[in-house]
Amino acid sequence: MVRFGIVGFGLHAAKRLMPGFALSKNCRVTALSRRKLGDAKESAAKYQIPYAFDSVGELCQSSEVDAVLVTTPNSCHLADVLSAIERGKPVLCEKPMALRAAECRKMVEAARERQVLLGVAHVFRFAESIRKLRDLVAAGEIGKPVFARSEFSFLASAQHPRKWLHDAAIAGAGPIFDVGVHAIDSLRFILQDEVVRVHGSAISDPDSGDVESAAALILEFAHGTIGTVLVSFRADYRSPLELVGQHAVLRADDGLNVEHPIAITLRRNGVDVETYTASNHLAYALQVDAFADAMLGRSKFPAPGEEGWQNQEILDAALRSLRSGHAEAVVRVES
pLDDT digit of tens for each residue in the chain (335 aa)?
Answer: 999 999 999 999 999 999 999 999 999 999 999 999 999 999 999 999 999 999 999 999 999 999 999 999 999 999 999 999 999 999 999 999 999 999 999 999 999 999 999 999 999 999 999 999 999 999 999 999 999 999 999 998 766 778 789 999 999 999 999 999 999 999 999 999 999 999 999 999 998 989 999 999 999 999 999 999 999 999 999 999 999 999 999 999 999 999 999 999 999 999 999 999 999 999 999 999 999 999 999 999 999 999 999 999 999 999 999 999 999 999 999 87
What span, in angstroms and rounded, lies between the C-alpha atoms of 207 and 185? 28
Instruction: Please tell me the number of Cα atoms within 13 Å of 270 on its side-chain side.
Output: 0
Q: Which residues contact 119 (CB under 8 A, 6 or more apart)?
A: 90, 91, 92, 93, 291, 294, 301, 303, 304, 305, 308
Listed by start position, the domains of the chain span 2-121, 124-284+313-329
* 258 within 8 A of 283, measured Cβ to Cβ: yes
CA distances from residue 169 to 165, 173, 311 in whole angstroms, order as listed = 10, 8, 19
Q: Report which of 119, 140, 132 is spatially closest to residue 186, judged by C-alpha positions.
A: 132
Q: What integer pLDDT is reported at residue 157 of this predicted model? A: 74
- Cα angle at 276 between 272 and 279, to 5 degrees? 145
What span, in angstroms and rounded, lies between the C-alpha atoms of 219 and 53? 42
| Full-model pTM | 0.96
DSSP string, 294-327: HHTTSS--SSBHHHHHHHHHHHHHHHHHHHHSS-
CATH 3.30.360.10 fits 124-284+313-329, yes or no: yes
Q: What integer pLDDT is reported at residue 6 of this predicted model? A: 98
Superfamily of domain 2-121: NAD(P)-binding Rossmann-like Domain (3.40.50.720)
Q: What integer pLDDT is reported at residue 282 of this predicted model? A: 98
Size of the chain, expressed as the number of residues it contains: 335
